[in-house]
Amino acid sequence: MKGAVAAGHPLTARAGADALAAGGNAVDACIAAAAVGWVVESPLTGPGAGGFMLVHRARDGRDFVLDFFVAVPGRGLAADVGGDLDVIAVPFGAGDTTQTFLIGPASCAVPGAVAGLDAAHRRFGTLPWARLLAPAIELARDGVELTREQALLHAVLDDVLRREPEGREVYGARQPLRAGERLVMGALASTLERIAAGGAHALYHGELARGLVAAVGARGGRITEEDLAAYRVVERRPVRVRYRGHEVVSNPPPSAGGVLIAYALRLLDSVGVGGPAGSPAALSMLAEVAREAAAARDGGFAAALHRGGLARRLLSDERVADAVARMLAREGPPAASEPRGLPSTTHVSVLDGRGNAASLSSSTGCGSGVFVPGTGIQLNNMLGENDLNPTGAPSRPGLHLTSMMAPTLVLRGGRPRLVVGSAGSERLRGAIVQTIANVVEHGLPVGAAIERPRVHLDGCDLHCEGGIDDSAVEELERRGYRIVRWPGPGRNLYFGGVSAVASSGDGRLEAAGDPRRGGHGIVVG
């Protein structure tokens, strides 16, 4: 086997698979796939995004996290320089509900996606950089037909994507693109050609950098040329936890997602899953683990993310024992109602035939609606994401924001067993935990593990995805949970979008994308 790749779109996965077939390693495949994602999953990601890549190197068993998430802008500006955030209502959630999001130039943080892929390539890549970006350039120039799932995302985010004239130039002047229609992104193709020739330097210096700064600066944005020139990818030591004889490796602080997943799995390892997959006992235990993980965000959690030592304190035997006692006694506090976000992340998971692994999550948030004229680049709105800035954005320019994104790796005997990540804002934690439990504890194939219906505890409400057995839901109600029933039997993108590859003990590989997002997996023979 040459490897396996899973992603949020068939063409994203195909680009990664082609890189593996050409002799590239897991990081090469991840870069090629991520770049294609900028085109075919453009409402979610792009050169204006930020993200993280978790890399496992087979030759020495070492794991690396490359943090290329967005950074606080404002170098060279006075603290009071900047405009107000624009408020929009996006239709998303159960029923005909809407959620409020903050966008516009003042929401734009310094993007890191291009710098991150460039840094990963220089550190770990083997195929030429231009070769890895070529599939994205071709698709952007020739156009791509929208899938049903991508058309839904275009419709949900239409008020952002086509808010400004530059956005309408990219996505059409009259109405959202529909499934089967073709999206051509010629300006983005030209931008990617410049990046293919000049690397990250082409975006963070010179003409593209000046155009980006001008696009936000005239209307209250704070990104400066100095911010772009000073942006740096940060290498971090991943967080680790034991789960059912495996080692789980994930994104560390200052991001929140990985350490909360580690905490949830530590609790689940202590108490067990409670019963067979999909049973009331198992679903109840997942809800209680989620309750404790949400409660862990109270108090000084947000500030502690940037101070050091949080993972050690949260995963300590004493902290875990206290939480387990509450879970078993059903005395835990009501789950914190966390700020909701759109499932506006995309993920790529790769495992190559030599045992190298790469797990990459990236996002533009819900998008800022701000496009750099003539480039096809939409900037992120991360300074307007309440879930990332519960007490306001950090004030020091250059500081990387926190994130819920959690590229994750499960090792067995030091070798990759599962490479996984998800979309879904605060729901991605539960999607990843439930997928890991389904594979490791319940022994499900990776495709079945992803497709199994999920639960999500939000405050006092236990959201139950369509497809969960009616008798199980009724038993959960008898156990005291306030149930929110989602229509079924189909799956809903509210519950995340997992992409995962897995390796069995005999070397057999599996790959699957989430049907909730139109994801896809490919095994390369």
Strands 482-485 and 461-464: parallel
Q: Are 220 and 201 in contact (CB under 8 A)?
A: no
Cβ-based burial of 483 (10 A; exposed 0-12, middle 13-18, buried ≥19): middle
Q: Are 6 and 503 in contact (CB under 8 A)?
A: no
Q: What strands lie across the sheet with 455-458, from one edge to the other?
A: 455-458, 461-464, 482-485
Sign of the Cα pseudo-torsion (110, 115, 117, 123, in order): negative
Q: Which two tokens stand for residue 365?
A: 């948030």
In the chain, the amino acid numbered 246 is: H
Q: Which two tokens stand for residue 182?
A: 């073709």
In the chain, the amino acid numbered 444 is: L
Using the structure block, give the residue that is written with the tokens 């679903």.
283
In the chain, the amino acid numbered 514 is: D
Question: Residue 379: CB partners within 8 Å, gap ≥ 6?
Answer: 48, 108, 111, 212, 215, 216, 223, 364, 367, 368, 370, 371, 372
Cis status, amide bond into 254, omega within 30 of 0: yes
Q: Are 236 and 100 in contact (CB under 8 A)?
A: no
In the chain, the amino acid numbered 488 is: G
Closest C-alpha to 377, from 58, 47, 27: 47
Question: Residue 59: CB partners within 8 Å, gap ≥ 6?
Answer: none
In the chain, the amino acid numbered 508 is: R
Query: What is the DSSP-derived secondary structure letter of residue 518?
Result: T
Is 435 assigned a catalytic role? Answer: no
Written as one string, the DSSP assignment of 430-452 is HHHHHHHIIIIIT---HHHHHHS
**Measured in Å, how far apart are the chain's first and last C-alpha atoms?**
4
Among 45, 224, 345, 408, which one carries the catalytic annotation?
345
CB atoms within 10 A of CB 446: 28
Cis status, amide bond into 489, omega within 30 of 0: yes
Q: Are 33 and 25 in contact (CB under 8 A)?
A: no
Active site residues: 345
